[in-house]
């Protein structure tokens, strides 16, 4: 019987082994989910770029620290922050109450609206319970757009949830979706400006109610890293004043 | 009913995850999972009987294609088969203009096709094995009675093969229930889909996935007991006689 | 020739990840399986019950659900521990449950349960007379295990082992759902980008069939080896 005990114990030990490493305090890593063009995406040669990336790098330079970007899927992005896989999230994350319970947010650094997009040949009136009734709508799972569409139209329309924006676009291309609800800049870049299909904007840009759309995008930190958040807020204020912010904004969204 | 709902709502009042809304997602997910699994199993079962007979045929042109089909579908992941069918049908020329698109547009039917093809392949092999294991004596007895091949198949070979196949088929049913979890990958809101939704919305992995794991566990036990009951009833004659 | 639109190398990398994942999971599963079989055969009540609970629960829940529980939940569970370490002792460590680790642990856990059943049946098939004979020669427990029980057990376990490996291989595809760039995920990405799902998915299917066929051949050879002295050998 001894043998069996040894075997059982050995397995317990083996099961506990997992990759482990320690993080340096000064080393700032920022979690980001790509692709989410033009906010964060990769150039064809694999380099990270986008509004968040450029602004994030500028903020770090202003504070005088080194920043390293860590790519992480949206599903696990908050747990990853808690796990200290990285120290901040800068990935088009909307500030809202629900997330505030988990993380500490910086001041909002951009406030993009959300919007409906549909294939050019689909006739949809201004989005409402009547006009969307019976349609198949696409959202990215776990986003504020998911919450908004689920709560407002979940009972009248079919809501398909996707892991990435790419999957959603593919299903829209193939005619499986009648409309999708996205952050406007992302919809513009992946649908309106794309050559693959013919798409249009449906209705107005949507920024209300705040319960869903929050106050804009913020950088998320762990609750206890108050000083870090303060440093980013100060740097953001400086960049807004000295024109760097506008310059980066223009790079990705053009002139207002 | 109203009173029950009100009571349930009160019970759920101080908990932000298991609201009536999320429970209804799980409920609908349960229905979808059961539909998907049940339909694919039934169609797969019906298809598997002739396939299994053909698989044991002496004619190469009957035997080989069936063997190839089961080899490919049993040798590759169901997920790959699902992707192929879900994304693949879109690229069949002219399909989007045909009446077929109405049913293929929704993810349910492509998933049903993938699941059915998969389970039919496994079931064919299970039946094939069971038919091969028919005791020679039974066949000789049937021949001695002057039964035709078809009659012998219907009266002797198949009934006894079905009984022998029962335990293995029970495993296949459970396997299918578990495999159906990948339906959520193509946006179907099955049980797993509901759990992924709840997880993404509330960042509550334990509540979302443990709850759904418990439901699957109950379903698995239900299937297990059903098959044990069937085995007791149908395989009674195989049990050692007791004094 | 088939045009892979430059995805060839990544597909190959993905195939290697699939194989690595499958082999590491298999090793974990075999270790867990041996332990479970031992626990279930043990006269210790607690070990016996734990083994039974483990095999029952694991085999009652879908692989994908377990994998998500491990990947999403496991991270939060470990966070609680590391957060506590940080708050209490100021030790700033983090243990990263990435897709690969979550995949290996989950698949290992699942197939450990199946292997446990396979090994238990196989151990019990070894005649007790042989074990007694070994003891009579004055062999230690360990020596009896190494020289008599294990090799004989393997003969009975190989068909089940081979079967489990084939199922395990296909289960690795699920890891693509939680984000690991195995060959299924690379193929899915490539299909989406190039709009050619048939090309990539059929290649992946073919690679799975190839791996399965090669391992089938390998297991047949092993079977022959362990069957030496049992009729079929030539």
Q: Range of C163's domain?
A: 20-180
Residue C185 · residue C139 · CB < 8 Å: no
Please give the interface size between A and B, counted as residue pairs whose CB atoms are below 8 Å apart: 37
Can you state the angle between helices C150-171 and C99-125, rounded to 10 degrees?
A: 150
Per the prediction, chain C carries an average pLDDT of 86
CATH number of the domain that C141 lies in? 1.10.3720.10
Q: In Å, how far is C178's CA from the nearest CA of chain B?
A: 10
CA distance A237 to A152: 36
The 10s digit of each residue's pLDDT in C97-140 is: 778 888 999 999 999 999 998 999 888 888 888 888 888 888 88
H or E stretch including A104? strand A104-105
Q: Do the domain assignments include residue C54? A: yes
Average pLDDT value over all residues in chain A: 82
* 8 A C-beta contact, residue A108 and residue A95: yes
Question: What domains lie within chain A, and their CATH numbers?
Answer: 25-111+215-253 (3.40.190.10), 114-213 (3.40.190.10)
pLDDT at B216: 96
Q: What share of chain A is helix, strand, coil (3-state, %, to 5)?
A: 40, 20, 35
> Helix or strand or coil: residue A203?
strand
Q: Mind listing the pLDDT tens digit for each residue in A225-248?
A: 888 999 999 999 999 999 999 999
Considering only the beta carbons, identify the residue of C105, C192, C195 that sits closest to A167: C192
ipTM of the complex: 0.87
pLDDT in tens, C79-100: 778 778 877 777 766 666 778 8
What pLDDT score does A15 carry? 40
CA distances from C61 to B144, C74, C83, C144 (A): 49, 17, 30, 37
Tell me, yes or no, whether C123 lies in a domain: yes
Q: pLDDT tens for residues C181-231? A: 889 988 888 887 777 888 889 999 999 999 999 999 999 998 888 887 775
User: For the packed helices C8-41 and C197-226, what is the interaxial angle rounded to 10 degrees?
Assistant: 40
CATH number, domain with residue B62: 1.10.3720.10
Please check whether residue C36 lies inside any domain of the structure. yes
The arithmetic mean of pLDDT across residues A91-107, rounded, is 87
In Å, what is the CA distance from B96 to each residue of A178, A187, C39?
A: 14, 24, 57
Q: What is the pLDDT of residue A173?
A: 83
How many domains are contained in chain C? 1
Q: Chain B closest CA to C184's CA: distance in Å? A: 7
Tens-digit pLDDT profile for residues B90-103 = 877 777 777 878 78
The reply to whether A21 touches chain C by the CB within 8 Å rule is: yes
Establish if C157 belongs to a structural domain.
yes
Residues of C with CB under 8 A from a CB of A: 28, 31-32, 34-35, 38-39, 41-44, 47, 71-72, 75-76, 78-79, 82-83, 92-98, 101, 105, 141-142, 145, 179, 189, 192, 195
More confident residue, A85 or B119: B119
Task: List phi, psi (to 5°) of A152.
Answer: -85, -40
Which residue ranges in chain B fall short of pLDDT 50? 243
Q: What is the mean pLDDT of residues A189-218?
A: 83
Whether this prediction's pTM lies above 0.80 is answered by yes
**pLDDT in the model for residue B14:** 60
Confidence grade of residue A12 (pLDDT, cut at 50, 70, 90): very low
Question: Which of A174-188, B15-29, B30-44, C6-20 is most confident?
Answer: B30-44
As a whole number, mean pLDDT of residues A36-62 equals 87
Question: Residue C82 domain-assigned?
Answer: yes
In the three-class reduction of DSSP (H, G, I as helix; E, B as strand; rest coil), residue A40 is classed as strand
Neighbours of B52 (CB within 10 A): 25
Q: What pLDDT, on the 0 to 100 scale, is given for residue B241?
A: 60
**Nearest chain C CA: its distance from A161 CA (Å):** 14
Count of structural domains, chain B: 1
């Amino acid at each position: 019987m001894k043998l069996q005990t040894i075997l059982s114990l050995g397995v317990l030990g083996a099961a506990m082994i997992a990759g482990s490493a320690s993080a340096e305090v000064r080393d700032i890593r920022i979690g980001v989910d790509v692709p989410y063009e033009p906010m964060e995406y990769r150039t064809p040669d694999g380099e990270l770029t986008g509004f968040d990336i450029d602004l994030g790098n500028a903020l770090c330079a202003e504070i005088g620290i080194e920043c390293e970007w860590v790519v992480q899927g949206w599903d696990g992005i908050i747990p990853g922050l808690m796990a200290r896989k990285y120290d901040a999230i800068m990935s088009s994350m909307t500030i809202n109450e629900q997330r505030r319970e988990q993380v500490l947010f910086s001041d909002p650094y951009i406030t993009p609206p959300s919007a409906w997009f549909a294939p050019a040949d689909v006739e949809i009136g201004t989005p409402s319970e009547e006009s969307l009734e019976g349609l198949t709508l696409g959202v990215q799972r776990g986003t504020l757009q998911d919450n908004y569409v689920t709560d407002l139209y979940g009972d009248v329309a079919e809501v398909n949830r996707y892991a990435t924006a790419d999957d959603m676009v593919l299903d829209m291309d193939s005619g499986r979706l009648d409309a999708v609800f996205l952050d406007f800049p992302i919809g513009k870049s992946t649908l309106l400006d794309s050559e693959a299909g013919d798409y249009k904007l449906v209705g107005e840009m949507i920024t209300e109610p705040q319960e869903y759309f929050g106050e804009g995008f913020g950088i998320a930190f762990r609750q206890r890293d108050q000083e870090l958040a303060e440093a980013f807020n100060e740097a953001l204020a400086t960049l807004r004043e000295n024109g760097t912010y506008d310059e980066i904004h223009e790079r990705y969204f053009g002139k207002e | 009913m109203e009173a029950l709902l009100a009571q349930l709502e009160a019970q759920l009042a101080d908990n932000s995850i298991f609201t009536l809304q999320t429970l209804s997602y799980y409920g609908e997910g349960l229905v979808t999972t059961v539909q998907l699994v049940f339909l694919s199993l039934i169609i797969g079962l019906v298809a598997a009987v002739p396939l299994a007979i053909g698989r044991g045929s002496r004619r190469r042109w009957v035997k080989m294609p069936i063997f190839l089909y089961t080899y490919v579908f049993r040798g590759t992941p169901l997920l790959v088969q699902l992707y192929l069918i879900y994304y693949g049908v879109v690229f069949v020329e002219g399909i989007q203009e045909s009446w077929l698109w109405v049913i293929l547009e929704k993810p349910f039917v492509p998933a049903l096709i993938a699941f059915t093809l998969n389970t039919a392949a496994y079931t064919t092999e299970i039946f094939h094995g069971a038919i091969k294991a028919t005791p020679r004596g039974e066949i000789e007895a049937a021949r001695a009675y002057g039964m035709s091949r078809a009659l012998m198949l219907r009266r002797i070979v198949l009934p006894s093969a079905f009984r022998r196949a029962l335990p293995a088929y029970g495993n296949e049913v459970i396997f299918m229930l578990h495999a159906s979890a990948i339906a959520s990958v193509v946006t179907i809101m099955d049980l797993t889909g509901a759990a992924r939704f709840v997880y993404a919305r509330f960042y509550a992995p334990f509540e979302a996935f443990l709850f759904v794991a418990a439901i699957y566990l109950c379903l698995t036990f239900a299937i297990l007991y059903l098959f044990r009951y069937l085995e007791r009833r149908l395989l009674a004659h195989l049990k050692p006689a007791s004094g | 020739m088939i045009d892979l639109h430059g995805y060839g190398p990544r597909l190959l990398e993905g195939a290697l990840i699939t194989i690595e994942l499958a082999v590491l999971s298999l090793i974990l599963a075999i270790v867990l399986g041996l332990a479970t079989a031992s626990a279930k055969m043990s006269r210790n009540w607690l070990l016996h019950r734990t083994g039974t609970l483990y095999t029952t629960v694991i085999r009652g829940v879908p692989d994908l659900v377990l994998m998500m529980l491990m990947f999403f939940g496991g991270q939060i569970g470990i966070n609680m521990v590391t957060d506590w370490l940080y708050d209490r002792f100021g030790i700033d460590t983090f243990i990263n449950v990435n897709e690969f680790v979550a995949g290996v642990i989950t698949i290992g856990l699942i197939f450990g349960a199946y292997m446990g059943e396979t090994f238990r049946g196989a151990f019990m098939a070894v005649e007790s007379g042989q074990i007694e004979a070994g003891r009579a020669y004055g062999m230690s427990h360990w020596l009896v295990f190494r020289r008599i029980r294990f090799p004989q057990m393997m003969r009975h376990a190989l068909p089940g082992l081979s079967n489990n490996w084939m199922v395990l291989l296909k289960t690795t595809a699920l890891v693509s759902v939680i984000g690991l760039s195995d060959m299924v995920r690379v193929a899915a990405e490539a299909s989406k980008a190039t709009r050619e799902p048939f090309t990539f998915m059929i290649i992946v299917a073919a690679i799975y069939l190839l791996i399965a066929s090669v391992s089938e051949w390998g297991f047949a050879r092993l079977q022959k080896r362990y069957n030496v002295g049992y009729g079929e050998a030539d």
